[in-house]
Amino acid sequence: MVNAGAPAARAGAPAGNEGQEDLRGFLARVEAAGRLRRLASAELEAVPRLMREAEKAGMTLVVERVVGSGAGHVSNLLVTPNHLAMAYGTDEPISREMVVSEYIRRTAAPIAPVVVDEGPVQEVVVPGDEIDVGSFPLLKHSPKDIGRYITAGMVITKDPETGIRNVSINRMQLKGPRKLGIRMMPPQHLGLIYQKAEKLGRPLEVAVAVGNHPLELIAATTSVELGVDEFGLAGALRGEPLQLVRCRTIDLEVPAHAEVVIEGKVRPGEREAEGPFGDFMQYYVPVMDNHVFHVRAVTHRRNPLFAAIKAGSVEDTHLLASSREAAIYRAARATGSEVVVVHLAPTILNCAISIRKRHEVEPKLVLEAVFASYPWLKYCVIVDHDVDVFDLADVWWAMATRSTPGRGTLHLDAPGFPRDPYNLHQSKLGIDATAPLGRWEEFERTGVGQ
């Protein structure tokens, strides 16, 4: 592990970057926009609190040196809708309202990644006998978590039958210097791929990349079909092929500009207890029989920044929401309605959609379409275009002043979020909070709350 006492992650492209924006380039733009909080050092135990404080302030957090670790910390990359817009606006700025349509426009066709000879992620190759994953600032995020976790790791594998790559983000529990717990359960692609390897009696090679550009994280959290390489989606989001380098000990390729890569294998037939862990709905998932990742190699940049995502945080919601908002937007548009903005929050179970209403029936048609397009959706509110769907207070204002409970609402008995022992997610409610057509002058806002 290198000495991380020197300032880490200063702005600017490191050698070999060749125009491809990396995490550090994104951070430089966020900092230039005044949306980054940079601390010289902090104790490991203080970082979760610092993350929450930065989130409340709408700031990305960089801790250049986490005391006692060989790396810095970065989090809250996508802490506001404006940060999300900054991730897309690599060439020229876009507005937060444009993120979903920009996502749809860019993902029309994948752009395959390219393998390059070398990349900054392999600047430092940790000698085998010095590997200790715990020397990175893995965090205990929630008080009852069983231990420290990697939460922003892009898990890269290849389907043993097709050879096609899969990329996803999965939590990993620190269990020893070279041992991590990982959950690989179907119907998630990673679980399906592991099942294939296990049936063949073969270990599954796995690489974990930490410290990635947010567009890669968005690609990794998008639901695509099994057999579609998420790095092709990452290239599409970037508008250029993602640069990869070959791993040192396994037959996989990883982003050349990541901060840290952990290489290893998951053996067939091996399970161990993992959890509890505070998950995306802000509840703990219980202890489960999950898989075990054995570390073979660690490479990293000089002065690496180790990224973390708090499950259930605003950033986590933004990541999980991107592809789902796109699906909702498409479905809502397909009704013929002029959809302005779609926003899933808080959590990815609730949605507010603004439209330019031309017919009274539109809100109901949009509600029916979006509930059918995204089964996890539980509450959905349709508002007029003068309501800021990114501001929950504004959405509530529209509900208070423009909706009639019982009229214009859509109640459906249909299953939602699947892990539901209390039957809390077996019905849905849609609310029309749009002003009556033809009465716009009477519903014109005074501008007080805007």
Nearest Cα to Cα of residue 351 among 338, 339, 334, 361 = 339
Segment near Mn ion (CB under 5 A), from 161-169, 174-182, 214-222, 339-347? 161-169
What span, in angstroms and rounded, lies between the C-alpha atoms of 37 and 58? 10
Closest distance to Mn ion from the beta carbon of 326 (Å): 16
Closest distance to Mn ion from the beta carbon of 224 (Å): 6
CB-based closest residue to Mn ion: 189
Which is closer to Mn ion, CB of 40 or CB of 226?
Answer: 226
Which is closer to Mn ion, CB of 234 or CB of 398?
Answer: 234
Residues from 290 through 309 that contact Mn ion (CB under 5 A):
none
Which is closer to Mn ion, CB of 229 or CB of 432?
Answer: 229
Q: Does 403 bind Mn ion (CB under 5 A)?
A: no
Residue 287 structure tokens:
């202890």
Place of tokens 């990673």: 190
Nearest Cα to Cα of residue 308 among 134, 156, 125, 152 = 152
Angle subtended by helix axes 314-334 and 99-106, to nearest 10: 70
Closest distance to Mn ion from the beta carbon of 166 (Å): 4
Nearest Cα to Cα of residue 164 among 228, 244, 245, 231 = 228
Closest distance to Mn ion from the beta carbon of 235 (Å): 15
Residues from 168 through 207 that contact Mn ion (CB under 5 A):
189
Closest distance to Mn ion from the beta carbon of 188 (Å): 8
Which is closer to Mn ion, CB of 31 or CB of 159?
Answer: 159
Segment near Mn ion (CB under 5 A), from 90-98, 102-110, 164-172, 351-359? 164-172
Which is closer to Mn ion, CB of 230 or CB of 362?
Answer: 230
Which is closer to Mn ion, CB of 166 or CB of 173?
Answer: 166
Residues from 325 through 354 that contact Mn ion (CB under 5 A):
none
Place of tokens 């992620």: 121
Which is closer to Mn ion, CB of 83 or CB of 189?
Answer: 189
Closest distance to Mn ion from the beta carbon of 170 (Å): 12
Q: Does 166 bind Mn ion (CB under 5 A)?
A: yes
Count of residues of this chain found to bind Mn ion when the rule CB under 5 A is applied = 2
Q: Does 80 bind Mn ion (CB under 5 A)?
A: no
* Rounded alpha-carbon distances, angstroms, from residue 434 to 160, 207, 211, 328: 51, 49, 42, 18
Q: Which of 132, 159, 279, 391 is catalytic?
A: 279
For residue 413, indicate whether it is catalytic.
Answer: no
What span, in angstroms and rounded, lies between the C-alpha atoms of 261 and 53? 28
Which is closer to Mn ion, CB of 24 or CB of 189?
Answer: 189
Cβ atoms of 62 and 36 within 8 Å: the answer is yes
What span, in angstroms and rounded, lies between the C-alpha atoms of 123 and 312? 33
Closest distance to Mn ion from the beta carbon of 205 (Å): 16
Segment near Mn ion (CB under 5 A), from 38-46, 165-173, 342-350, 380-388? 165-173
Q: What are the DSSP calls for 141-177, one per residue?
A: -STT-SS-EE-SEEEEEE-TTT--EEEEE--EEEEET
Identity of the amino acid at 19: G
What b/e string do you get for 50-70 counting C-beta neighbours within 10 Å, with b at 16 or more?
bbeebbeeebbbbbbbbeebb
CA atoms within 13 A on the CB side of 259: 27
Closest distance to Mn ion from the beta carbon of 356 (Å): 36
H-assigned helices in 107-256: 189-199, 214-220, 230-238
Place of tokens 């791929």: 193
By annotation, the residues acting in catalysis are: 279
Residues that bind Mn ion (CB under 5 A): 166, 189
